[in-house]
Structure 1
Amino acid sequence: MQEPDPNSNILEVLEPTEFSKDDAEENFRLYSEVDILFILRGIMQAHSLITLYAEPGKNFFLTSILNVDPVNKEMIIDYGSDEKISQQALHSTKLTFVTTQNKIKIEFICNRIKSVEFEGKKAFSVNIPESVLRIQRRDNFRISTPITKPLKCIVPVVIEEKSMQAEITLLDISCGGIGAIDQNPVVHFEPGTVYNNCQISLPDIGTFNTTIKVKNIYAKKLHNGGTYQRIGCEFIGLTAKTEAMIHRYIIKQEQTRKMK
């Protein structure tokens, strides 16, 4: 059995998420095999504890991922400490797994399980899930945007009764909002100002329109001695569909950085 990371969610029992009609779970569901394997390997490498629910009933035990085998489409997990619940899991056709990764809740379901031996100890083999729920709520994980090809946010503004579009360069993005560089010589962003119908394009993901509210603005120094204005903005009324797009973008950026 792997030793859990002391910084992981030790002995934290997590429950499956209940979604409202306005917060449909499909908006958080990932089906890409590449994305799923990336998430599962990340959970394994972090030695994160997983709450496994064996149905029928609410019985559960804590486990962890020991190995991920994409060729045979299976993964090895720790055997439960409670033999009765472990046996119930062996006869279950729906196993619900709940854990966290980078403060983001991860849930998935497996429907095939068998008892195996792994590295001389009892373990379970389960199928790699067909989909994964990656539930990133606002103000969670924020990722820096690429320096070479930075993201842009197009902000509609009115200057001297004339409509125009201001462009700001994003420094980071999350489902809570964006950090950006204010280099526009005409527009002066002020905390508390709300801008509607702003547009952000996520490469290979899609383009979305949203409302942003400026939360803070401050000067930062450059290496050459110059300065620039950094603005922090929050998303207002972000839809679940848009959150899912940002989720996918963050995963792709994580994958790219892991490959470097």
Structure 2
Amino acid sequence: MVESFQKTDPTSSADDSECSPENSEICRIRSKKTIIRILHDIMQKNTLVTLYFDQSNHFILTSMLAINEQTNELLIDYGTEPELNALALKSSHLTFITSQNRIQIEFECNQISSSRLDNRDVFTVNLPESLIRLQRRHNYRITTPILDPLKCIIPIPSEEGLFKAEIALIDLSCGGIGVIDHHPVINFEPGMIYQNCQIYLPGFGWINTAIEVKTTHEITLKNGQLCKRAGCQFIDLPTEMEVLIQRYVTKHEQTKLTF
């Protein structure tokens, strides 16, 4: 069975997609031919794939190895930790996050098993019936909730000890955050760097990172209030935390897909 898996890109027609009427940047691909073409491209470029299972924060960094169009199966490399591989094989809900030409790709599967390829253990999963594509070629940015905003906790040394300032986020991406500059202690001048900042993503976990203030400019809020927005960039964001943000962003935007 393994010998029937293709490792070359098949000829396919032009891309087709269904985009959310609320946000044309978010598209769900349903065409099997297009899905296979995208997966082949990711596989040939050996792009890193993050596999989450059973809606937990456990994940495996892996890559695609081969596609079998006849059996609608996809071969995925095993991870480096045997215990996580074993947990994945017991799972019924699998989420894959990767990218194609710097565009984020996400798809889900509900079946997984173990197989052999080139004398090594690999995962076999069913080809996805659809996949989500974030159209922008850079970090996709979402507006964070207004009533219950995400917060960035920034530790500031003081004479009394370490003071933790809480800053409400107005937007978030894998590249950084946008905040309102009105905190009496934090200086949001471009070039300022704050270490050991923490952001909690509900349902996903904590982000721990350094940030650098890159830009500031005036904005008008929905209530008419004039204030300053500061754009901050993550510094050396760990891969696992970038993946958490990717998952949060995709889950947030996925609710806008109405087709």
Aligned residue identity for 2:141: R
Aligned to 2:156: 157
Deviation at 1:158, TM superposition (A): 3.4
* Equivalent residue, structure 1, for 2:79: none
**Structure 1 unmatched runs, 5+:** 20-24, 34-51, 56-87, 113-125
Whole-angstrom CA distance in 1 between matches of 2:69 and 2:256:
37
**Residue 206 of structure 1: how far off its partner (Å):** 0.9
Tell me, yes or no, if structure 1 residue 30 matches structure 2 residue 25.
no
Partner in structure 2 of residue 18 of structure 1: 46
| Percent identical | 39
Opposite residue 209 of structure 1, the aligned amino acid is N
Residues 1:172 and 2:174 are matched in the alignment: no
Partner Cα separation in structure 2 for residue 106 and residue 165 of structure 1 = 35
SS across alignment from 1:14: helix
Shift of 1:89: 4.2
Summarize the Cα distance change of 1:127–1:224 in structure 2 as closer, same or farther, 3 Å threshold.
Answer: closer
**2:177–2:232 contact (8 Å) kept in structure 1:** yes
Rate the CA distance shift 1:201–1:136 in 2: closer, same or farther, 3 A. farther
CA, structure 1 residues 138+166, in 2 after alignment: closer, same or farther (shift >3 Å)? farther
- Aligned partner of 1:90 among 70, 73, 77: 70
The answer as to whether partners of 2:73 and 2:127 remain within 8 angstroms in 1 is: no
In 1, Cα distance between the equivalents of 2:243 and 2:195?
Answer: 20
What one-letter code is carried by the residue in structure 2 that aligns with 1:31?
F
Amino acid in structure 2 at the alignment position of 1:239: P
- For the residues of structure 1 that align with 2:151 and 2:252, how far apart are their CA atoms? 16
Task: Note the residue ranges of structure 2 that are not aligned, 5 or more in a row.
Answer: 1-11, 18-23, 56-63, 77-95, 114-124
Matches within 5 A, 1:121-132: 127-128=126-127
* TM-score, with structure 1 as normaliser: 0.55
Per the alignment, in what secondary structure is the counterpart of residue 158 of structure 1? strand
C-alpha displacement of 1:165: 1.9
Q: Would the alpha carbon gap of residues 99 and 150 (structure 1) be closer, same or farther in structure 2, given more than 3 Å must change?
A: closer
Corresponding position of 1:196: 195
> TM (normalized to structure 2)?
0.55
Shift of 1:240: 1.0
Larger radius of gyration, structure 1 or 2? 1
Decide whether the 8 Å contact of 1:156 with 1:164 is kept in 2: yes
The 1:89/1:257 distance shift into structure 2, 3 A limit, reads closer
CA distance in 2, matches of 1:148, 1:247: 22
Tell me the alpha carbon deviations over residues 25-80 of structure 1, each in whole angstroms, 9 at most, x when there is no partner: 56x223358xxxxxxxxxxxxxxxxxx9966xxxxxxxxxxxxxxxxxxxxxxxxx
1:41 aligns with: none
Deviations 1:104-131 (CA, angstroms, capped at 9, x unpaired)? 145789999xxxxxxxxxxxxx9355xx
Contact 1:136 1:247 in 2 (8 A): no
Q: Distance in 1 between matches of 2:233 and 2:205?
A: 20
- Whether contact under 8 Å (1:30, 1:133) holds in the other structure is no
Equivalences for 1:219-230 in 2 at 5 Å?
A: 219-230=218-229
Q: 1:224 to 1:158 in 2, by over 3 A?
A: same
- CA 1:32/1:254 → structure 2, altered by over 3 Å: closer, same or farther? farther
Count of residues in correspondence between the two structures = 189
